[in-house]
């Protein structure tokens, strides 16, 4: 007989509840983002926290450029969403390798649907686009980009290291070209001696020039500036002053000039009256300045140019006395 007083076995609900509680605790420990510690479960489900989407990108982007003021005005259509509080305008130089875009509309979002920018007036092309911003600070994606080619109103940097040398053939100037954008150089001289500005400045695309018409025995001051293709002129260099000397003694008597094995050979009659040695000057194809290239001693009466000829080349030779004074030049030219 079964005693009905014997209590029935305990139900296992408390045990199941306790296990469930432990499982929940472990899950809480392993769930990212709850501020608890523990190793993350590689198979745990991703966080279900929703990320707010930004507003839609502005449309109807356009740009106009004013040549008189060098300004670009960007316009766009407003965003119809009520939570849009403003817009940001971005600018970036067009082309590969350009620097990153920058916000040009300021720190606070714009409430208007237009913005006027002053891009560098350097002749470059710039891209513009717009983003919408909502109350939470979320930005939209970029609008369609628009492009503007600016006017070139930026002058190049000034040339540097201007030097001058006076010879009996003329005054030779040399300088260093500036970096960046330049097209040619303008050479101006002291208005009291040779008023280039009144006659039109001498121009050259080289970094050296010989003023063949400089007066002898007169000090002339020169300065040089760079000019770009748009006509923007740099500041002038520092001024240099030089005097073309009066020639001394007889001019050398050139006998012959030939090209042998691609090199120029020059011969002249030796004058023992005043000559200690000679100076040989060369002007290579496309150059506008004479360069001292040889100093043969008097007894030689000949000279060979160590530089191979690259085209029609001019030379002149002068006698030089013990004081270093030069005679008038004797000119010749050769062609390979």
Give the separation between CA 26 and CA 36, rounded to whole angstroms: 10
CATH 2.60.40.10 matches 253-334? yes
The domain locations on the chain are: 13-42, 59-149, 160-243, 253-334
Residue 74's CB is within 10 A of a number of other CB atoms, namely 25
Within this chain, domains 160-243 and 253-334 share the same CATH topology: yes
DSSP code, position 191: T
| pLDDT value at 32 more than 80 | no
Compute the mean pLDDT over every residue in the chain, rounded to the nearest whole number: 83
Confidence of residue 298 (pLDDT cuts 50, 70, 90): confident
Look at residue 49 and give its three-state secondary structure.
coil
**Rg of the Cα atoms in the chain:** 41
- Contact present, 28 and 37 (Cβ < 8 Å): no
Residue 10's CB is within 10 A of a number of other CB atoms, namely 8
Q: How distant, in Å, are the alpha carbons of 173, 177, 201, 208, 241 from that of 161?
A: 10, 9, 20, 11, 13
Structure tokens at 277: 């040695």
Can you say how many angstroms the Cα of residue 192 is from the centroid of all Cα atoms in its chain? 37
Model confidence over 196-218: pLDDT tens digits?
544 567 899 999 999 998 999 99
Q: Which residues pair with 64 in a beta bridge?
A: 73
Q: Which residues pair with 240 in a beta bridge?
A: 222
Residue 281's CB is within 10 A of a number of other CB atoms, namely 22
Residues in the chain: 336
CATH number of 59-149: 2.60.40.10
Architecture category of domain 160-243 in CATH: Sandwich (2.60)
User: pTM for this one?
Assistant: 0.68
Edge-to-edge strand ranges of the sheet holding 263-269:
253-260, 263-269, 302-304
pLDDT at position 233 is 95
DSSP code, position 134: E
Determine which of 2-16, 95-109, 177-191, 264-278 has the lowest per-residue pLDDT on average.
2-16
Which string of DSSP letters, residue by residue, matches 21-44?
A: HHHHHHHHHHSTTSS--SPPPTTP
pLDDT at position 299 is 78
């Amino acid at each position: 007989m079964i005693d009905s007083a014997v209590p029935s076995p305990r139900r296992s609900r408390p045990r199941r509840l306790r296990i469930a509680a432990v499982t929940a605790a472990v899950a809480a420990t392993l769930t990212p983002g709850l501020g608890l510690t523990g190793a993350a479960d590689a198979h745990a489900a991703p966080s279900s926290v929703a990320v707010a989407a930004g507003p839609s990108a502005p449309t109807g982007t356009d740009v106009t450029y004013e040549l008189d003021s060098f300004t670009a005005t960007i316009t766009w259509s407003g965003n119809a969403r009520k939570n849009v509080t403003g817009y940001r305008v971005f600018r970036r130089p067009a082309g590969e390798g350009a620097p990153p875009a920058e916000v040009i509309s300021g720190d606070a979002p714009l409430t208007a649907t237009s913005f006027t920018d002053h891009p560098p007036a350097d002749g470059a092309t710039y891209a513009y686009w717009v983003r919408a911003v909502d109350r939470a600070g979320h930005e939209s994606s970029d609008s369609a980009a628009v492009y503007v080619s600016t006017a070139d109103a930026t002058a190049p940097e000034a040339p540097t290291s201007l030097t001058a040398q006076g010879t009996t053939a003329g005054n030779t100037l040399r300088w260093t070209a500036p970096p960046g954008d330049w097209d040619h150089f303008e050479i101006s001289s002291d208005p009291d001696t040779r008023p280039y500005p009144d006659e039109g400045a001498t121009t050259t695309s080289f970094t050296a020039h010989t003023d063949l018409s400089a007066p002898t025995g007169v000090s002339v001051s020169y300065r040089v500036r760079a000019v770009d293709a748009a006509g923007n002129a740099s500041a002038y260099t520092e001024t240099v002053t030089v005097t073309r000397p009066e020639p001394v003694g007889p001019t050398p008597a050139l006998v012959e000039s030939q090209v042998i094995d691609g090199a120029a050979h020059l011969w002249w009659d030796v004058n023992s009256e005043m000559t200690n040695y000679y100076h040989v000057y060369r002007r290579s194809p496309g150059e506008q300045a004479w360069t001292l290239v040889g100093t043969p001693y008097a007894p030689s009466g000949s000279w060979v140019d160590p530089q191979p000829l690259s085209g029609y080349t001019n030379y002149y030779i002068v006698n030089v006395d013990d004081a270093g004074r030069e005679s008038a030049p004797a000119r010749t030219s050769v062609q390979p």
